[in-house]
Structure 1
Amino acid sequence: MTKHQSKISAPRGAHDDGKYPTVLAQSAAMEAGQASSSEQVELCIARIDDPMGEGIRTFTTVWREQARDVAAAQDTLLRSGYRASPIAGIPVSIKDLLDVKGEVTRAGALALDDMPVAACDAPVVSRLRSSGVVLIGRTNMTPFAFSVVGLNSHFGTPGNPWDRDRIPGGSSSGAAVSVADGMVAAAIGSDTVGSIRVPAALCGVVGFKPTQRTVPLSGAVPLSPTLDSIGPLARSVADCAAIHAVISGEAAVPLDMVGVRGLTFGVPREIVLDDLDIEVGRAFERACARISEAGARIEQVSFKALREVDALNGNRVIQLAEAYAWHRELLERRGADYDPHISARVRSGAQILAADYLSMLSHRRRLMREFDAATSGFDALLLPTTSMIAPTFDECMAAEDAVRTKLLRNTGPFNFLDCCSISLPVHRPGEAPVGLMVAGHRDGDWQLLKVANAIESIIAGA
């Protein structure tokens, strides 16, 4: 390693400094009559509208009056003894690529501003509304979700909450900042090669990428339908689990695992520990030491599939081929309104042969089977979410391709292999945010959330 409906308990998150309450803390306070949805929403709106804050760059749309109306309605229902779900009344943001009935979905881009308004809500949005959450607004993102650094030349880029001169990560940049800055309690993002977990790690919040298609993708502007996932960002694992239950339509599973004693974790030897920033290496080693001291077994293991995924560069082939197929007609009509860096990358997908694309899908299916078998003896894998802390905007602009490659190196393989994974804050207070990625088995989302919840309590303040 080198450089640089019952009452709900309200656990603190892995790096919850108490500055902003978690989803479950807000929920418990509302049930106890100690807070109201309207009060929480007003606090969020005030932070968004703070002229000294990042709200103007974090949100592309804010539904102030709608949010106030929904919050008031939820308060009335709660006073009458009814809650639609354990997260009813909680302020939540959604990424700008999700359809909202009656609005144009821009996906952080100018080129979609003349599209028809959405005829209906995306299923994710509809499920959130039915649960009683208060939708605050749409969060900013890299145009078309096409970069992990989080830059948006059209609507601006929010500064990292730890250091405003540093990037927030992307493409769910606004989602991560909206949670970290207390503008919402939770956010909905999307992840194709790391776009939930990377900004979560760089901004110091929790970000969960579920198994692909666990959450419906319809009504969302796609980047790569094969690799895309929709998931939550929040201040704790339990918060992410509560939101995931709603957007997946699955019954919530109690996160009742007590400790990690007797569990076995694998740390991949391949690639993921190479060239770590000093801050990342130290934080990862501290976290592993804590987990080991708590009674878990940690083994460094070689995984042939990870080496092959890296060599194949399969995410690029699949992502670019599928992105070009979706963007081709729009590029012809509105290409001048694309960010030139993004349009160049999208157009490169035209050079990918159908035979190469289909071959890569075949490789993916094989490697998924091999990786499932190779990891069957582990409860989860542990690795740094990113190899670096958030770079400054200047550092990013000087070497964006290199920064992008480093940020995606550890997260991307788990999209290709379709493993659920979650990033947990593992830095100490006052330090640069660092994420610990806990990767689970395909379709083992709830078991991963149980394991991550147990780890979270161990690494707090590590």
Structure 2
Amino acid sequence: MKKPTPNESNAFNAFVERFDSFSEGEGPLEGLTFAAKDCLDLAGRAPGCGLPSDADLPAPASDAAIIRMLQAAGAHLLGMTQMTALAYEPSGTNAALGRPVNPLNSAYVCGGSSSGSAVAVAAGAVDFAIGTDTGGSVRIPAHCCGISAWKPSFGLIPVEGVMPLAPSLDVVGFLAPEAADFVPLIPVLIPSGAREMRFRSIAFALDVAAEAPHAAEALESVLKAARHTGFTCHDTEALPLIRDCDPPVMTLMQGEAYRAHAARIASGSLDPVMAKRLGKGAEVSESDLAAARAALTALSGETLDAVFGPDDILLLPVMPCETPRVALCDPGSPEFSARALYALSAFTRFANGLGLPVVTLATGKDSHEMPIGLQLVARPGRDADLIRAAATIERALDLPTLRPLIRRAMS
């Protein structure tokens, strides 16, 4: 295999480095292009991890496992994408490297932490992209950029060669223009995956929807499409589960992130805002971490069963709010709101805590003509079924495409 050749083209600041197409593999993904978040290893190239170029990270000897899998199936790696520092910020803001620009409207955040991967897909630079997701980091940018995300079940995709943030929560995730674009990945990444969609019931999180009035029409459109394709739909309550998951998830995220990156904090090389954010985990003890894991294990039993069953798909919004303006999420802006930043992942973190697979759909526009993302959530190990179900519902949706908006933005 040839070494990648740098390519300087970089619309919307999506890439930290672009390559000329260099993979010569053949297979089921032949002809498809992808980008990878810059916290994945590429042999001989030090990952940037969203840090300044003088961070002096070591160059790995081999590619990340997921990159090897995709290239072996014939996909072409076109570049490494921007990300927030250490994948620990949900809006896309990066004080050192600048933020990728949302192709739909530059005044609004693109979402993070897999910011560049989402922008590269939304701008049409690649067919799909690799991200990571510890608390919503592929789903939030998919919502903001009007594309789809797949957060796999915990442990399904190997994390070898991927920078850790919180290993109890981390997954490798994917972004693509539509949910149907994940279907070709099934035989490559889930060899035992179902060939047919077997879900037939939607559990609609009515109480969560009440907290997100901006998504009401989008949710109704998905329910209508689901019924049209043969799903039965019933209401459920998911807010108690989401809220009960949050304390142990935050304990794990803060405690494990601090342990993963304590040396960088001690070196003084991090941006002060990031150092403070990571430093919150210093007070989390090993017993706190053990208690958090036990709490999430308990919630994954009868409490989860009461929300949606093994053969249900849970439907809820990605975010409790519309896509925010850049200034609202920029700590350097007088308009900055820590509460607004925290809210971006309010409806996504629970899925990481419980190891649940999620596929998001871009399903309409908010009051500022920005896209709205919805989550379809299943039980662990049902990824292939979930992808096919999402694609089935997506085909039945009567929604205007966002691609013309992106093309106008690029012209």
Determine what percentage of the aligned residue pairs are the same residue. Answer: 28
Match of 1:299 in 2: 234
| Residues 186, 332 of structure 1: alpha-carbon distance in 2 compared, 3 angstrom cutoff | same
Cα distance in structure 2, aligned partners of 1:346 and 1:143:
11
Moved over 4 A (4+): none
**Paired residues of 2:139 and 2:318 also in contact (CA < 8 A):** yes
Which of 377, 385, 394 is 2:318 aligned to? 385
Partner of 1:434: 372
2:307 is equivalent to residue 367 of structure 1:
no
Matched, 1:62 2:3: no
- The change in CA–CA distance for 1:377 and 1:104 in structure 2 (over 3 A counts) is closer
Note the residue ranges of structure 2 that are not aligned, 5 or more in a row: 401-411
Distance 2:80 2:44 in 1: 14
What displacement does 1:281 show? 2.3
Displacement after TM superposition at 1:188 (Å): 0.4
Within the candidate set 139, 156, 161, 1:219 is matched to: 161
Structure having the higher strand fraction is: 2
**TM-score (norm. length: structure 2):** 0.88
Residue 290 of structure 2 is aligned with which of 345, 354, 358? 358
**For 1:394, which of 311, 327, 335 is the aligned residue?**
327
1:326 aligns with 2:260: yes
Cα shift at 1:292:
3.1
Aligned pairs (5 A) from 1:31-430: 49=9, 53-54=11-12, 57-64=13-20, 67=21, 69-70=22-23, 73=24, 84-110=26-52, 113-243=55-185, 245-246=187-188, 248=189, 250-251=191-192, 253-254=194-195, 256-257=196-197, 263-270=200-207, 272-276=208-212, 278=214, 280-303=215-238, 306=241, 308-310=243-245, 312-333=246-267, 335=268, 337-374=269-306, 375-376=308-309, 378-397=311-330, 398-427=335-364
How many residues get paired? Answer: 390
| Gap change, CA 1:159 and 1:210, over 3 Å in 2 | same
Deviations, residues 281-302 of structure 1 (Å, cap 9, x unaligned): 2222232233234443221113
1: CA distance, partners of 2:372 / 2:111: 12
**Counterpart in 1 of 2:408?**
none
Matched position secondary structure for 1:435: strand
Deviation for aligned residue 1:309: 2.2
- Aligned alpha-carbon RMSD (Å): 2.5
CA contact 1:95–1:175 (8 Å) conserved in 2: yes
Contact preservation (8 Å) 1:105, 1:112: no
Whole-angstrom CA distance in 1 between matches of 2:278 and 2:132: 18
Structure 1 residues 301 and 275: CA distance shift in structure 2, 3 A? closer
Cα pair 2:31 2:76 within 8 Å, conserved? yes
Q: Aligned partners of 1:119 and 1:400: how far apart in 2?
A: 41
The 1-side partners of 2:204 and 2:54 are apart by: 42
| Greater Rg over alpha carbons, structure | 1
Distance in 2 (CA, whole Å) between partners of 1:305 and 1:313 is 12
